[in-house]
Structure 1
Amino acid sequence: MNSENNMAVTKFGRYFEDFIIGEEILHEGSKTIFESDNNFFCLLTMNHHPVHINIDYAEQKQHKQLLVVGTLVFSLIVGITVPDISGKAIANLEYEEIKHLTPVFINDTLYAKTKILAKRESKSKIDRGIVHVETIGYNQHKQNVISFKRKVLVPKNT
Protein backbone atom coordinates (compact mmCIF):
# COMPACT_ATOMS: atom_id res chain seq x y z
CA MET A 1 0.00 0.00 0.00
CA ASN A 2 1.08 3.52 -0.72
CA SER A 3 0.71 5.25 2.65
CA GLU A 4 0.05 8.69 1.11
CA ASN A 5 -3.26 7.79 -0.45
CA ASN A 6 -3.96 4.20 0.66
CA MET A 7 -3.77 2.91 -2.89
CA ALA A 8 -2.28 -0.48 -3.73
CA VAL A 9 0.93 -0.33 -5.76
CA THR A 10 0.82 -2.57 -8.81
CA LYS A 11 3.83 -4.75 -9.49
CA PHE A 12 4.85 -4.40 -13.13
CA GLY A 13 7.95 -6.23 -14.24
CA ARG A 14 10.76 -7.76 -12.23
CA TYR A 15 14.21 -6.80 -11.15
CA PHE A 16 17.20 -9.00 -11.95
CA GLU A 17 17.16 -10.54 -8.47
CA ASP A 18 13.50 -11.55 -8.84
CA PHE A 19 14.17 -14.02 -11.67
CA ILE A 20 14.74 -17.61 -10.52
CA ILE A 21 16.43 -20.00 -12.94
CA GLY A 22 14.07 -22.87 -13.74
CA GLU A 23 10.95 -20.97 -12.68
CA GLU A 24 7.95 -21.34 -14.98
CA ILE A 25 5.57 -18.40 -15.23
CA LEU A 26 2.00 -18.78 -16.42
CA HIS A 27 1.10 -15.31 -17.67
CA GLU A 28 -2.28 -13.91 -16.66
CA GLY A 29 -3.00 -12.03 -19.88
CA SER A 30 -4.68 -13.49 -22.93
CA LYS A 31 -6.05 -12.22 -26.23
CA THR A 32 -8.70 -13.42 -28.63
CA ILE A 33 -7.68 -12.48 -32.17
CA PHE A 34 -10.48 -10.83 -34.09
CA GLU A 35 -10.60 -10.34 -37.83
CA SER A 36 -10.15 -6.61 -37.29
CA ASP A 37 -6.89 -7.23 -35.36
CA ASN A 38 -5.53 -9.27 -38.26
CA ASN A 39 -6.70 -6.72 -40.86
CA PHE A 40 -5.19 -3.75 -39.03
CA PHE A 41 -1.91 -5.59 -38.52
CA CYS A 42 -1.78 -6.52 -42.22
CA LEU A 43 -2.35 -2.88 -43.17
CA LEU A 44 0.14 -1.56 -40.64
CA THR A 45 2.91 -3.97 -41.67
CA MET A 46 2.06 -3.94 -45.40
CA ASN A 47 1.56 -7.70 -45.44
CA HIS A 48 -1.16 -8.06 -48.06
CA HIS A 49 -0.88 -11.78 -48.70
CA PRO A 50 -4.41 -12.94 -49.58
CA VAL A 51 -4.28 -15.91 -47.17
CA HIS A 52 -4.53 -13.30 -44.38
CA ILE A 53 -7.12 -10.90 -45.85
CA ASN A 54 -9.15 -12.66 -48.56
CA ILE A 55 -11.65 -15.23 -47.32
CA ASP A 56 -12.40 -16.57 -50.81
CA TYR A 57 -8.70 -17.12 -51.48
CA ALA A 58 -8.05 -18.64 -48.04
CA GLU A 59 -10.99 -21.07 -48.36
CA GLN A 60 -9.30 -22.56 -51.44
CA LYS A 61 -6.02 -23.19 -49.62
CA GLN A 62 -4.83 -25.84 -47.16
CA HIS A 63 -6.52 -24.54 -44.00
CA LYS A 64 -9.78 -23.41 -45.65
CA GLN A 65 -9.90 -20.20 -43.58
CA LEU A 66 -8.00 -16.99 -42.95
CA LEU A 67 -4.65 -17.38 -41.24
CA VAL A 68 -3.50 -14.88 -38.64
CA VAL A 69 -0.21 -13.23 -39.59
CA GLY A 70 2.65 -14.97 -37.77
CA THR A 71 4.30 -11.73 -36.72
CA LEU A 72 1.04 -10.64 -35.09
CA VAL A 73 1.02 -13.88 -33.09
CA PHE A 74 4.65 -13.23 -32.10
CA SER A 75 3.91 -9.63 -31.10
CA LEU A 76 0.88 -10.58 -29.02
CA ILE A 77 2.72 -13.30 -27.14
CA VAL A 78 5.62 -10.96 -26.40
CA GLY A 79 3.09 -8.40 -25.18
CA ILE A 80 1.35 -10.91 -22.90
CA THR A 81 4.70 -11.56 -21.19
CA VAL A 82 5.62 -7.91 -20.54
CA PRO A 83 4.12 -7.58 -17.03
CA ASP A 84 6.17 -10.55 -15.79
CA ILE A 85 9.32 -10.48 -17.93
CA SER A 86 10.22 -7.14 -19.48
CA GLY A 87 8.08 -4.63 -17.60
CA LYS A 88 11.17 -3.12 -15.97
CA ALA A 89 13.49 -3.90 -18.90
CA ILE A 90 16.16 -1.53 -20.05
CA ALA A 91 16.16 -3.33 -23.41
CA ASN A 92 15.26 -6.52 -25.20
CA LEU A 93 18.65 -7.62 -26.47
CA GLU A 94 17.91 -10.62 -28.64
CA TYR A 95 15.17 -12.88 -29.93
CA GLU A 96 16.17 -16.36 -31.06
CA GLU A 97 14.70 -19.60 -32.31
CA ILE A 98 11.28 -18.19 -33.19
CA LYS A 99 9.20 -21.19 -34.26
CA HIS A 100 5.65 -21.10 -35.58
CA LEU A 101 4.36 -24.48 -34.42
CA THR A 102 0.79 -24.56 -35.74
CA PRO A 103 -1.49 -22.12 -37.57
CA VAL A 104 -3.48 -19.49 -35.71
CA PHE A 105 -6.95 -18.60 -36.95
CA ILE A 106 -9.40 -15.75 -36.47
CA ASN A 107 -11.16 -16.09 -33.08
CA ASP A 108 -8.38 -18.18 -31.52
CA THR A 109 -7.46 -17.07 -28.01
CA LEU A 110 -3.76 -16.89 -27.16
CA TYR A 111 -2.09 -17.53 -23.82
CA ALA A 112 1.58 -17.72 -22.82
CA LYS A 113 3.98 -19.33 -20.39
CA THR A 114 7.67 -18.60 -19.88
CA LYS A 115 10.55 -20.52 -18.36
CA ILE A 116 13.60 -18.73 -16.92
CA LEU A 117 16.58 -20.44 -18.57
CA ALA A 118 19.54 -18.47 -17.23
CA LYS A 119 20.69 -15.13 -15.95
CA ARG A 120 23.99 -13.32 -15.54
CA GLU A 121 25.19 -9.98 -14.35
CA SER A 122 26.21 -7.41 -16.93
CA LYS A 123 29.92 -7.39 -17.72
CA SER A 124 30.00 -3.62 -18.29
CA LYS A 125 27.53 -2.15 -15.77
CA ILE A 126 27.02 -3.35 -12.21
CA ASP A 127 23.44 -2.08 -11.89
CA ARG A 128 21.89 -4.58 -14.31
CA GLY A 129 21.83 -8.13 -15.62
CA ILE A 130 20.71 -10.25 -18.55
CA VAL A 131 17.88 -12.75 -18.22
CA HIS A 132 17.44 -15.54 -20.80
CA VAL A 133 13.91 -16.92 -21.14
CA GLU A 134 11.89 -19.25 -23.35
CA THR A 135 8.25 -18.44 -24.04
CA ILE A 136 5.57 -20.68 -25.48
CA GLY A 137 2.32 -19.29 -26.82
CA TYR A 138 -0.67 -21.59 -26.99
CA ASN A 139 -4.32 -21.44 -28.00
CA GLN A 140 -7.62 -22.22 -26.30
CA HIS A 141 -7.17 -25.90 -27.19
CA LYS A 142 -3.82 -25.97 -25.30
CA GLN A 143 -1.98 -26.39 -28.63
CA ASN A 144 1.41 -24.71 -28.71
CA VAL A 145 1.37 -22.23 -31.58
CA ILE A 146 4.69 -20.40 -31.19
CA SER A 147 7.90 -20.63 -29.20
CA PHE A 148 10.90 -18.35 -28.92
CA LYS A 149 13.77 -17.44 -26.65
CA ARG A 150 14.92 -13.96 -25.77
CA LYS A 151 17.47 -12.13 -23.67
CA VAL A 152 16.31 -9.14 -21.65
CA LEU A 153 18.47 -6.53 -19.95
CA VAL A 154 16.90 -5.68 -16.59
CA PRO A 155 17.98 -3.43 -13.73
CA LYS A 156 19.03 -4.70 -10.34
CA ASN A 157 17.02 -3.62 -7.33
CA THR A 158 19.81 -1.54 -5.80
Structure 2
Amino acid sequence: MEPSKLGLYYEEFDIGLTLYHSLSKTIFESDNNFFSLLTMNHHPVHTNIDYASKNQHGQLLVVGTLVFSLVVGITVPDISGKAIANLGYEDIRHLSPVFIGDTIYARTTILDKRESVSKTDRGIVYVETFGYNQKGDNVISFRRNVLVKKQFS
Protein backbone atom coordinates (compact mmCIF):
# COMPACT_ATOMS: atom_id res chain seq x y z
CA MET A 1 0.00 0.00 0.00
CA GLU A 2 1.27 3.45 -0.90
CA PRO A 3 1.20 6.17 1.74
CA SER A 4 -1.23 8.98 1.04
CA LYS A 5 0.20 11.96 -0.80
CA LEU A 6 -0.40 15.39 0.70
CA GLY A 7 0.07 18.17 -1.82
CA LEU A 8 2.19 18.59 -4.89
CA TYR A 9 5.82 19.57 -5.23
CA TYR A 10 6.67 22.72 -7.20
CA GLU A 11 7.66 20.69 -10.27
CA GLU A 12 4.24 18.99 -10.37
CA PHE A 13 2.26 22.21 -10.89
CA ASP A 14 1.53 22.81 -14.57
CA ILE A 15 0.40 26.27 -15.66
CA GLY A 16 -3.16 26.11 -16.98
CA LEU A 17 -4.05 22.92 -15.08
CA THR A 18 -7.40 23.03 -13.27
CA LEU A 19 -7.79 20.75 -10.26
CA TYR A 20 -11.25 19.75 -9.04
CA HIS A 21 -10.69 19.08 -5.35
CA SER A 22 -12.11 15.85 -3.97
CA LEU A 23 -13.09 17.23 -0.57
CA SER A 24 -16.44 18.93 0.02
CA LYS A 25 -18.45 20.09 3.01
CA THR A 26 -22.11 20.67 3.78
CA ILE A 27 -22.45 23.70 6.05
CA PHE A 28 -24.59 23.03 9.10
CA GLU A 29 -26.15 25.60 11.39
CA SER A 30 -23.72 24.52 14.12
CA ASP A 31 -20.74 25.33 11.83
CA ASN A 32 -22.07 28.84 11.25
CA ASN A 33 -22.89 29.38 14.94
CA PHE A 34 -19.49 28.18 16.19
CA PHE A 35 -17.64 30.25 13.61
CA SER A 36 -19.71 33.35 14.47
CA LEU A 37 -18.91 32.89 18.16
CA LEU A 38 -15.25 32.10 17.60
CA THR A 39 -14.68 35.15 15.38
CA MET A 40 -16.99 37.46 17.35
CA ASN A 41 -19.15 38.13 14.29
CA HIS A 42 -22.55 38.53 15.93
CA HIS A 43 -24.38 40.18 13.05
CA PRO A 44 -27.98 38.95 13.32
CA VAL A 45 -28.17 38.02 9.63
CA HIS A 46 -25.87 35.10 10.60
CA THR A 47 -27.34 34.21 14.00
CA ASN A 48 -30.98 35.31 14.26
CA ILE A 49 -33.55 33.46 12.14
CA ASP A 50 -36.28 36.03 12.79
CA TYR A 51 -34.03 38.94 11.79
CA ALA A 52 -32.68 37.11 8.74
CA SER A 53 -36.20 36.14 7.59
CA LYS A 54 -37.09 39.84 7.32
CA ASN A 55 -34.06 40.75 5.22
CA GLN A 56 -32.97 40.36 1.60
CA HIS A 57 -32.48 36.58 1.43
CA GLY A 58 -35.18 35.57 3.92
CA GLN A 59 -32.92 33.10 5.73
CA LEU A 60 -29.66 32.89 7.66
CA LEU A 61 -26.53 33.67 5.67
CA VAL A 62 -23.34 31.74 6.31
CA VAL A 63 -20.50 34.02 7.42
CA GLY A 64 -18.36 34.88 4.38
CA THR A 65 -15.07 34.28 6.15
CA LEU A 66 -16.27 30.78 7.08
CA VAL A 67 -16.85 30.09 3.38
CA PHE A 68 -13.38 31.47 2.59
CA SER A 69 -11.71 29.37 5.31
CA LEU A 70 -13.59 26.25 4.24
CA VAL A 71 -12.60 26.60 0.58
CA VAL A 72 -8.95 27.18 1.50
CA GLY A 73 -9.12 24.01 3.62
CA ILE A 74 -10.67 22.00 0.79
CA THR A 75 -7.63 22.87 -1.38
CA VAL A 76 -4.94 21.82 1.12
CA PRO A 77 -4.54 18.18 -0.03
CA ASP A 78 -3.79 19.34 -3.58
CA ILE A 79 -2.41 22.88 -3.43
CA SER A 80 -0.72 23.65 -0.13
CA GLY A 81 -0.02 20.22 1.35
CA LYS A 82 3.70 20.67 0.60
CA ALA A 83 3.64 24.42 1.13
CA ILE A 84 6.18 26.25 3.21
CA ALA A 85 3.79 29.22 3.45
CA ASN A 86 0.84 30.93 1.85
CA LEU A 87 2.46 34.24 0.93
CA GLY A 88 -0.67 36.23 0.29
CA TYR A 89 -4.30 36.17 -0.74
CA GLU A 90 -5.80 38.68 -3.13
CA ASP A 91 -8.98 39.58 -4.96
CA ILE A 92 -11.28 37.69 -2.59
CA ARG A 93 -14.81 37.96 -4.01
CA HIS A 94 -18.06 36.76 -2.50
CA LEU A 95 -20.01 35.94 -5.66
CA SER A 96 -23.27 34.49 -4.29
CA PRO A 97 -24.81 33.99 -0.87
CA VAL A 98 -24.22 30.75 1.01
CA PHE A 99 -27.00 29.30 3.16
CA ILE A 100 -27.23 26.68 5.87
CA GLY A 101 -27.43 23.28 4.13
CA ASP A 102 -25.36 24.29 1.09
CA THR A 103 -22.58 21.92 0.11
CA ILE A 104 -19.35 23.60 -0.92
CA TYR A 105 -16.90 22.27 -3.53
CA ALA A 106 -13.79 23.88 -5.03
CA ARG A 107 -11.61 23.98 -8.11
CA THR A 108 -8.24 25.66 -8.58
CA THR A 109 -6.41 26.74 -11.72
CA ILE A 110 -2.64 27.14 -11.80
CA LEU A 111 -2.07 30.61 -13.26
CA ASP A 112 1.71 30.93 -13.01
CA LYS A 113 4.79 29.71 -11.20
CA ARG A 114 8.35 30.84 -10.69
CA GLU A 115 11.40 29.63 -8.87
CA SER A 116 12.48 31.37 -5.69
CA VAL A 117 15.26 33.88 -6.25
CA SER A 118 16.79 33.47 -2.79
CA LYS A 119 16.41 29.71 -2.15
CA THR A 120 16.83 26.94 -4.71
CA ASP A 121 14.75 24.35 -2.85
CA ARG A 122 11.39 26.08 -3.44
CA GLY A 123 9.18 27.99 -5.84
CA ILE A 124 6.11 30.20 -5.85
CA VAL A 125 2.89 28.96 -7.40
CA TYR A 126 0.15 31.49 -8.27
CA VAL A 127 -3.37 30.02 -8.28
CA GLU A 128 -7.01 31.04 -8.54
CA THR A 129 -9.65 29.12 -6.62
CA PHE A 130 -13.42 29.10 -7.00
CA GLY A 131 -15.75 27.69 -4.38
CA TYR A 132 -19.13 26.58 -5.68
CA ASN A 133 -22.30 25.09 -4.25
CA GLN A 134 -24.30 21.95 -5.01
CA LYS A 135 -26.09 23.77 -7.83
CA GLY A 136 -22.78 24.65 -9.50
CA ASP A 137 -23.08 28.35 -8.62
CA ASN A 138 -19.75 30.02 -7.88
CA VAL A 139 -19.99 31.47 -4.37
CA ILE A 140 -16.42 32.72 -3.77
CA SER A 141 -13.18 33.26 -5.66
CA PHE A 142 -9.69 34.30 -4.66
CA ARG A 143 -6.09 34.20 -5.82
CA ARG A 144 -3.00 33.42 -3.81
CA ASN A 145 0.73 32.87 -3.99
CA VAL A 146 1.93 29.67 -2.35
CA LEU A 147 5.57 28.98 -1.50
CA VAL A 148 6.05 25.27 -2.27
CA LYS A 149 8.93 22.83 -1.73
CA LYS A 150 10.73 21.43 -4.75
CA GLN A 151 11.06 17.70 -5.04
CA PHE A 152 14.54 18.04 -6.51
CA SER A 153 16.70 21.06 -5.73
TM-score for the superposition, normalised by structure 1: 0.95
Structure 2 residue identity aligned to 1:65: Q
Per the alignment, residue 24 of structure 1 pairs with 18
Question: Gaps spanning 5+ residues in structure 1: where?
Answer: 1-6
Identity of aligned residues (%): 72
Which of 133, 136, 156 is the aligned partner of 2:150?
156
The match for 1:88 among 82, 91, 95 is: 82
In 2, Cα distance between equivalents of 1:31 and 1:96: 23
Partner Cα distance (1:55, 1:9) in 2: 45
2:94 is the alignment partner of 1:122? no
- Tell me what 1:147 maps to: 141
Of the three residues 5, 9, 21, the one matched with 1:11 is 5
Q: TM-score, normalised by structure 2?
A: 0.98
Backbone CA RMSD of aligned residues: 0.5
Cα distance in 1 between the residues matched to 2:39 and 2:8: 31
Report whether the alignment pairs 1:68 with 2:68.
no
What is the deviation of 1:116?
Answer: 0.2
1:54 aligns with 2:48: yes
Instruction: Report the AA paired with residue 62 of structure 2.
Output: V
User: AA paired with 1:47?
Assistant: N
Gaps of 5+ in 2: none
Is 2:44 the partner of 1:44?
no
2:125 maps to 1:131: yes
Q: Kindly tell me the number of residue pairs found equivalent between the two proteins.
A: 152
